[in-house]
Amino acid sequence: SQKIEQNSEALNIQEGKTATLTCNYTNYSPAYLQWYRQDPGRGPVFLLLIRENEKEKRKERLKVTFDTTLKQSLFHITASQPADSATYLCALEGGKLIFGQGTELSVKP
Partner 1 sequence: NAGVTQTPKFRVLKTGQSMTLLCAQDMNHEYMYWYRQDPGMGLRLIHYSVGEGTTAKGEVPDGYNVSRLKKQNFLLGLESAAPSQTSVYFCASRPPTGGSYEQYFGPGTRLTVT
Binding mask 52-91 for partner 1 (x = CB under 8 A): -------------------------------------x-x
**Which amino acid appears at position 1 of this protein?**
S
- Give CA–CA dist 28/107, Å, rounded: 32
Q: Does 40 bind partner 1 (CB under 8 A)?
A: no
Q: Does 92 bind partner 1 (CB under 8 A)?
A: no
CA distances for 33 relative to 51, 75, 99, 100, angstroms? 6, 11, 10, 11
- From 20-28, 66-74, 78-86, 97-105, give the range in contact with partner 1 by CB under 8 A: 97-105
To partner 1, the closest distance from the beta carbon of 43 in angstroms equals: 3
Q: Does 8 bind partner 1 (CB under 8 A)?
A: yes
